Amino acid sequence: MLSWFAERKRDLPWRRTRDAYRIWLSEIMLQQTRVAAVVPYYEKFLKTFPNVRVLARAGTDRVLANWAGLGYYSRARNLQRAAKEIVSRHAGNFPREYEAALALPGIGRYTAAAVLSIAYDEPHAVLDGNVARVLARIGAVRGDLRAPAMWRKLEATAQESLDRTAPGDWNQAVMELGATVCTPKSPRCTECPVEKWCHARALGIAEKLPVARKKRATVEVTLAAAVLLDPRGRTLLVRQLDGDGALFSRLWQFPALETTGSDAGAALAGHLREKFRVAGKSKLTPLTTARHAVTFRNIRLEPYLVRVARLPRVTGARIVALAQIRRLPISNATQKIADAAIGR
């Protein structure tokens, strides 16, 4: 595995360093996000926040603006909270002890094991989806890998098989094997360095493992959003979205309403009247709708342009030029809405 990894590993920016901050950042960005999508964000983020002290000192808005487009913004907020703790409690060094790493915001068992093994060669095995699939196939393990008891067994297997002379490379080798050879569909067993030890291969069931999990059903929702526009081309952005915590929380967004009803425009008009004292459905001009998917939610964005003589004064809201909202931390969905209003 180690010699295969040395020869075949992809050249990725976070593989050219042993700096714990950089490795930690890459692991956080790679959660739920593809490698190709992460690379440009990783490089840009490091130019702005080259070390943990700079990140700890930065304004949260600036951190979120540099994360904008990657999604799952709680990762960025936790990253900065953890940076502050690392500076205040660990003299600016990512802790070497597993329990101390685990106590940091946003760091779970996988991330703690990954950073400590790769940066410090501490003997902690990682277990993520790729590793679990490889282990399940080698051992011809049937059943739902994400079931808690099964996951614990796999963690124990991963820890037993860890090469303690090179834990960081070993962990990366198993993950790399899962990402590039032992792929979910059509594993390339003839190119695999562990083919002769693989039970699933011997039994001819590699493609059937692991058994598929039941997918969570997709929920369809409509997000009706109002682009209020004054004669100077300025608009109003707010921070929280009623009835929606995780999706856009703490990012700047247009006044909006999540609805499953058929007349989203009427619901939005009621919301604007009540919360912003902007009156009348007749003032709402529908814009081009767009689609936005977040985990199990399939969101239909239904934007409306609302021209007003004067933007309402609302506590905690911001008034900005519509063409310049990208300067603030906003989600891709908010950008799509702005593009519809600008006519891009």
CA angle, 98 then 102 then 106, to 5°: 145
**126 touches ligand SF4 (CB under 6 A):** no
How far is 84 from 80, CA to CA, in rounded Å?
Answer: 6
**244 touches ligand SF4 (CB under 6 A):** no
How far is 140 from 154, CA to CA, in rounded Å?
Answer: 12
**173 touches ligand SF4 (CB under 6 A):** no
Give the count of beta carbons closer than 10 Å to the beta carbon of residue 187: 23
- Single out the segment in contact with ligand SF4 by CB under 6 A; choices: 132-140, 232-240, 277-285, 305-313: 132-140
Provide, rounded to whole angstroms, the least separation between the CB of residue 305 and ligand SF4. Answer: 53
Q: Which of residues 179 and 294 has its CB atom nearest to ligand SF4 in the complex?
A: 179
**131 touches ligand SF4 (CB under 6 A):** no
Provide, rounded to whole angstroms, the least separation between the CB of residue 136 and ligand SF4. Answer: 9
**194 touches ligand SF4 (CB under 6 A):** yes
- Single out the segment in contact with ligand SF4 by CB under 6 A; choices: 57-65, 115-123, 192-200, 252-260: 192-200
- End-to-end CA separation in angstroms for the chain: 49
**132 touches ligand SF4 (CB under 6 A):** no
Beta strands in the chain (DSSP E): 219-229, 234-237, 256-259, 284-286, 290-294, 297-307, 318-321
Per the CB < 8 A criterion, the answer to whether 290 and 262 are in contact is no
Q: Which of 121, 195, 244, 339 binds ligand SF4 (CB under 6 A)?
A: 195
Which two structure tokens, joined as six digits, stand for 277?
């004292």
Catalytic residue among 27, 155, 258, 302: 27
Per the CB < 8 A criterion, the answer to whether 251 and 331 are in contact is yes
Name residue 37's amino acid: A
Torsion, Cα of 11, 13, 14, 15 (10° steps) = 30
Name residue 178's amino acid: G
**134 touches ligand SF4 (CB under 6 A):** yes
Question: Using CB under 6 A, which residues numbered 281 to 300 contact ligand SF4?
Answer: none
Q: Which of 167, 168, 187, 303 binds ligand SF4 (CB under 6 A)?
A: 187
- Comparing C-alpha atoms, which of 110, 34, 40, 104 is closest to residue 72? 34
Give the distance between the most distant pair of CA atoms in the chain: 74
Provide, rounded to whole angstroms, the least separation between the CB of residue 229 and ligand SF4. Answer: 55
Question: Using CB under 6 A, which residues numbered 14 to 43 contact ligand SF4?
Answer: none
Taking residues 197 to 236 in sequence order and writing x for each that binds ligand SF4 by CB under 6 A, - otherwise, the string is -x-xx----x------------------------------
Provide, rounded to whole angstroms, the least separation between the CB of residue 138 and ligand SF4. Answer: 5
Q: Which of 1, 154, 182, 227 binds ligand SF4 (CB under 6 A)?
A: 182
Rounded to 10 deg, the angle between the 20-30 and 109-120 helix axes is 150
Question: Using CB under 6 A, which residues numbered 61 to 120 contact ligand SF4?
Answer: none
Q: Which of residues 23 and 198 has its CB atom nearest to ligand SF4 in the complex?
A: 198
Q: Which of residues 132 and 338 has its CB atom nearest to ligand SF4 in the complex?
A: 132
- Comparing C-alpha atoms, which of 191, 179, 183, 190 is closest to residue 209? 183
How far is 268 from 317, CA to CA, in rounded Å?
Answer: 18
Give the count of beta carbons closer than 10 Å to the beta carbon of residue 290: 17
Q: Which of residues 65 and 131 has its CB atom nearest to ligand SF4 in the complex?
A: 131
Q: Specify whether 27 is catalytic.
A: yes
- Give the catalytic positions in this structure: 27
Residues near ligand SF4 (CB under 6 A) are 134, 137-138, 181-182, 187, 189, 192, 194-195, 198, 200-201, 206
